Amino acid sequence: MHPITRIIIIIAVVWLLFVLLLYLFQESMIFYPQQIPHDYRLKFSKYEITINNNGNRLHGWFIKNNISKDSPLIIYYGGNGEEVSGNLWSINDFHTGSFLFMNYRGYGDSEGRPSEINLCSDALFIVDYITKKEKIPLENIVIMGRSLGSGVAAYVARHRNVGSLILVTPFDSLLNVAKSYYPVFPVSLLLRHRFDSLTYIHEIKLPMISIIGTEDEVIPNKNSMNLFKHWGGPKELITITGAGHNNIDSYDQYWKSINLFLAGNKKY
């Protein structure tokens, strides 16, 4: 066998092996379930809530004060490696007093396995459950999605006419992000969890603020900007210089922008 032919065969075998691994292990690459730190349980136990959907026990925290359009309930959807109880330490940074933090299936104390279908169907179920049980008008709800959670938030906004959205380090489509990471692989054929907001966000007419960092090392800025470009409703883009994917909430501009948006002030 000619040496060049042998090299080509080796490259092809290695390429096929990587394709197989990407397909078989994509769930573990997309979803990183985390457990609840012990001290969080002790401090915030009085706010714990469980909601059952299709036999799966979903667990989280619900903090309810006066809820109105001026003081909305924030329903939060976290990132792919985020156990959402960490947000309980930041509630005083928001200029509103009501929050619902629910862990995805498999995260924290929530049962089941995470998937795009499960995360999105649970999110709709939870919104419907909490609004009916607590008699909360949809327009008094702000949904907030961070990273992977931006895809869940966009899905909810497509189906429920909530008040507005806060999207932090969002992306247009997980498929497009994957193409940036794996340009030489047929990810369009391999990816089962696409979170393809780009196909419908032009239909969403709700107000939205998008907050991104110039040094985001996980979600390319081009994917965040493409989501913003195609959003169908009123929109504001906040770009925080120097902020990365995981530390963006450590910047004062992050909280200032969110609270001005909650207050209806478009002068950021």
- CA-nearest of 114, 84, 103, 126 to 193 is 114
Longest dimension (CA), the chain: 77
pLDDT band per the 50, 70, 90 thresholds, residue 267: very low
**Structure tokens belonging to residue 209:** 């603020």
Listed residue (224, 208, 217) closest to 246, CA to CA: 217
Q: What is the mean pLDDT of the chain?
A: 92
- Strand 141-146's sheet: what is its strand order? 48-53, 56-63, 98-102, 73-77, 141-146, 164-168, 208-213, 235-240
Q: What token pair was written down for 28?
A: 């573990």
Percentage with pLDDT > 70 across the chain: 93
DSSP secondary-structure letter at 182?
Answer: -
What kind and span of H or E run contains 42?
Answer: helix 38-44
pTM of the model: 0.93
- Of 37, 107, 35, the closest CA to residue 77 belongs to 107
Tell me: the pLDDT tens digits for 199-212? 999 999 999 999 99
Cα three-residue angle 55-57-61, rounded to 5 degrees = 150
Taking 70 as the threshold, does the pLDDT of residue 13 lie above it?
Answer: no
The first and second tokens of residue 264, run together, are: 């209806």
Q: What are phi and psi of 141, to 5 degrees?
A: -120, 135
User: Which amino acid does the sequence have at 176?
Assistant: N
Distance CA 88, CA 99 (A): 9
pLDDT in tens, 167-222: 999 999 999 999 998 887 788 888 989 999 999 999 999 999 999 999 999 999 99
Per-residue exposure over 218-248, b if at least 16 CB sit within 10 Å of its own CB, e if not: bbbeebbbbbbebbeeebbbbebeebebbeb
Range 31-262: architecture per CATH: 3-Layer(aba) Sandwich (3.40)
Residue 266 clears pLDDT 60, i.e. is over it: no
Could you tell me how many residues make up the chain?
Answer: 268
CA angle 27, 49, 51 (to 5 degrees): 60
Q: Is residue 22 within 8 Å of residue 190, measured between CB atoms? A: yes
What pLDDT does 44 receive? 87
